[in-house]
Amino acid sequence: MDGIINVCKEKGFTSHDVVAIVRKLCGRPKCGHTGTLDPDAEGVLPVCIGKATKISQYIMDGYKRYQALLKLGVTTTTEDASGDVLEEKEVTANLDDIRSAVNGFIGEYMQTPPMYSAIKVNGRKLYELARKGEEIERKKRKVFIYSIDILEYNFPDECLLDVKCSKGTYIRTLCSDIGKALGCGGHMASLTRTETSGFVLENSIRIDELRALAEENRISEAVIPMENFFESWKKAYVKPEAEKILVNGGRIYEDFFETEYPLEQGEKLIAYYDDNKLAGIYEYRFDGERNENMLVPVRMLL
């Protein structure tokens, strides 16, 4: 039971709730999610089990994709539908105006994290301060928006957006900023994460389905091998005479591994041994003292 379950988180569950349920159903104490979803949000939440928790950060660091409903003309305290209304304005923008504003956020984007977030400033979570009515200055953070598509437009004030973005992007802040750019304000009315690092909503499993599998002792059918996550990574195969060094987390020099691809210095790849057994994540480097290329362990997955 080492792998990933691609859970479809439903509204009302916290990400920690999902992890606790998976832990209980799988009977494995070592479980962790790969990027928090707010309780009101739904969608893809991969949960790593056992040894796969070692790769949770790599899944978390990948791109995300969301469908967000942007409600224009209404600004809220939390930048989403759960907050109190701060201001209401008439929406005079047309679809071309909205499309132009949306396209202005594609690419590198300096985003100010919302007060209602778990980010810590001076040891205190922002949402704790926000609940007390306090607001403090937050440093802008660099995020990247790969694409934003308008899937639906409900005249005059609702747009369903498909957003592909980097880790750390607050979609509700993006919705709020689009509203500001249009001069009418706005907030995120709903959010569904449809993809994260290749895990897609269409292949996810709901909690009730997971419980049903557990009752039939078939929960392993929902577990995705962690090797699947690395399908697009370059691979190196270690020769038998160096397997002991590999298993012990040692450096593997170029005479003792084979790969089908050209490698670049600093590139990360996956090392296998003994007929396709996954050993870990390695980095391709040059050893100046020995004048030889080598693989250096970054994260052992044994």
Beta bridge partners of 110: 142
Give the Cα separation of 11 and 18 in Å (integer): 11
Give the Cα separation of 22 and 30 in Å (integer): 10
38 a catalytic residue: yes
Give the Cα separation of 147 and 158 in Å (integer): 19
Which regions of the chain does DSSP assign to beta strands (E)?
3-9, 31-33, 42-49, 64-72, 74-76, 85-88, 107-111, 120-121, 124-125, 141-154, 158-165, 186-196, 199-200, 205-206, 235-238, 252-253, 257-258, 268-273, 277-287, 292-300
Helix axes 15-26, 207-215, angle to 10 degrees: 10
Is residue 267 classed exposed, middle or buried when 0-12, 13-18 and 19+ CB atoms within 10 A define those classes? middle
Q: Please report, to the nearest 10 degrees, the dihedral formed by the alpha carbons of residues 76, 128, 62, 203 taken in order.
A: -70
Q: How many CB atoms lie within 10 A of CB 125?
A: 14
Q: Of residues 38, 80, 157, 177, which has the active-site annotation?
A: 38
Over the range 35-57, which residues count as b (16 or more CB within 10 Å of their CB) and which as e? bebbeebbbbbbbbbbbbbbbbe
Give the Cα separation of 33 and 22 in Å (integer): 10
DSSP string, 231-278: TTS-EEEE-GGGHHHHHTT--EEGGGEE-SS---TT-EEEEEETTTEE
Residues with a known catalytic role: 38
